[in-house]
């Protein structure tokens, strides 16, 4: 019987694949996969990856929809990483239940992102996007992570302007940042839970509102869970240093607030419940203003120092269940007053 060789045919099928990288470098200040724009690097890294940005000025609008780390690199005594508004402006790219249509310069959405060592410059007189009600410097929306050691300045002009908006965030840490020339709100926290705002310098406010200056250094509204506001310096042309509205379990401790506008308050609790306000130093017409709106607030206001105002502690006559002493008062026209 004849024996014949058996030919085995191997077929190699090349399937196109989409490759991504774990880290990227914007610019040429260190080795790695290099990109010329921050957004291109963001799109190239895999989820969980890192984008490092060399010093320079980057006229970009950024959108982050995956988990990642974005950080500026300190190099050769430079001015750092400056993200400016491109000539095309900032598009309308989101909505918020309170503010309506938004034009965010940096958007983090449905992701956990950690941003650090960045300077976001809104261009000051840059007009708002067509159709948008509110310009936003940095917007975290349905997101988590952190922003640290960064600067927000010169927000764009719009009907409303919020330098930082934390909307429906979870476990968000906003710490050790510098905010200046805020227009309406410097930092706003809406609907979120487990938010920390700590060690920020919020100063040189623009006072754009003719009668009221900047409305709030930090504003908190309709939270679903606790928040911690601690060790922040807030001052210069602001009506309310920290404003808490209709939110539970907000802890406000160790802040230094100076309000130099008539009728303003260092800390204003409006319909807040189970808030803790302790160890703050407050120079304001009203050091702390507590208005429970007829509900059992259960707020604690203790061991604060109120200096040089018309009323150190202002409480509504209808308040129930609040603890409001001891506190320390210096040079107050009235230590405690009711309305």
Is the preceding omega at residue 173 within 30 degrees of 0, hence cis?
Answer: no
Cα-atom radius of gyration of the chain, to the nearest Å? 24
* Residue 225 Cα distances to 29, 209, 248, 250, angstroms: 42, 31, 6, 8
Per-residue pLDDT of the chain (339 residues; tens, 9 = 90+): 444 454 443 333 333 334 579 999 999 999 999 999 999 999 999 999 999 999 999 999 999 999 999 999 987 667 799 999 999 999 999 999 999 999 999 999 999 999 999 999 998 877 778 888 899 999 999 999 999 999 999 988 787 899 999 999 999 999 999 998 888 899 999 999 999 999 999 986 654 444 446 889 999 999 999 999 999 999 878 899 999 999 999 999 999 999 877 789 999 999 999 999 999 999 999 999 999 876 778 999 999 999 999 999 999 888 888 999 999 999 988 999 987
Query: Quick one: which H or E segment has residue 275?
Result: none
Half-sphere exposure of 267 (CA within 13 A, CB side): 34
How do the domains of the chain map onto residue ranges?
A: 71-338
CA-to-CA distance for 222 and 260, rounded, in angstroms? 27
Residue 205 has what pLDDT? 66
CA-to-CA distance for 241 and 305, rounded, in angstroms? 14
CA-to-CA distance for 315 and 299, rounded, in angstroms? 11
Placement of tokens 């210096």 in the chain: 330
Query: Quick one: which H or E segment has residue 50?
Result: strand 45-53
Residue 132 has what pLDDT? 84
- Ramachandran quadrant class, 8 (left: phi over 0; alpha: psi -120 to 50; beta: rest): beta
Query: Quick one: which H or E segment has residue 42?
Result: helix 38-44
Residue 183 has what pLDDT? 86
Token output for 291: 């208005």
Work out the angle at residue 160's Cα, subtended by the Cα atoms of residues 196 and 115, and round it to the nearest 5 degrees: 35
Q: Where does residue 231 rank: exposed (0-12), middle (13-18), buried (19+ CB within 10 A)? A: middle
| Chain centroid, CA 103 distance in Å | 15
- Bridge partners (DSSP) of residue 114 are 69, 146
Backbone angles phi, psi at 43, to 5 degrees: -70, -25
The DSSP symbol for 43 reads H
């Amino acid at each position: 019987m004849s024996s014949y060789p058996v030919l085995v045919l191997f077929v190699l099928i090349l399937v196109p694949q989409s490759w991504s990288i774990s880290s990227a470098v914007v610019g040429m200040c260190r080795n790695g996969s290099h990109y010329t724009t921050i957004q291109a690097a963001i799109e190239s890294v895999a989820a969980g990856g890192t984008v490092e940005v060399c010093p320079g000025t980057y006229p970009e609008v950024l959108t982050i929809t995956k988990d990642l780390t974005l950080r500026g690199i300190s190099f050769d005594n430079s001015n750092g990483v400056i993200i400016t508004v491109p000539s095309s402006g900032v598009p309308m790219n989101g909505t918020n239940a309170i503010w309506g249509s938004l034009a965010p310069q940096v958007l983090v959405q449905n992701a956990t992102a950690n941003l650090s060592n960045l300077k976001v410059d809104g261009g000051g007189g840059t007009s708002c996007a067509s159709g948008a009600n509110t310009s936003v410097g940095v917007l975290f929306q349905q997101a988590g992570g952190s922003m640290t050691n960064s600067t927000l300045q010169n927000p764009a002009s719009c009907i409303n302007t919020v330098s930082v908006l934390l909307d429906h965030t979870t476990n968000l840490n906003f710490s050790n940042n510098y905010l200046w020339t805020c227009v309406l709100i410097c930092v706003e926290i809406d609907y979120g839970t487990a938010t920390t705002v700590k060690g920020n310098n919020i100063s040189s406010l623009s006072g754009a509102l003719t009668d009221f200056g900047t409305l709030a250094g930090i504003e908190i509204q309709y939270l679903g869970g606790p928040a911690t506001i601690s060790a922040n310096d807030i001052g210069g042309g602001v009506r309310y240093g920290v404003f808490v509205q209709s939110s539970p379990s907000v802890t406000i401790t160790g802040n230094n607030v100076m309000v130099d506008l008539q009728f303003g308050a260092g800390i204003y609790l409006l319909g807040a419940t189970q808030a803790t306000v302790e160890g703050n130093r407050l120079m304001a017409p009203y050091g702390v203003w507590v208005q429970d709106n007829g509900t059992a607030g259960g707020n604690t206001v203790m061991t604060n120092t109120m200096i040089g105002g018309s009323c150190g502690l202002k409480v509504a006559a209808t308040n129930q269940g609040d603890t409001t002493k001891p506190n320390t008062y210096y040079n107050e026209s009235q230590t405690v007053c009711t309305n």
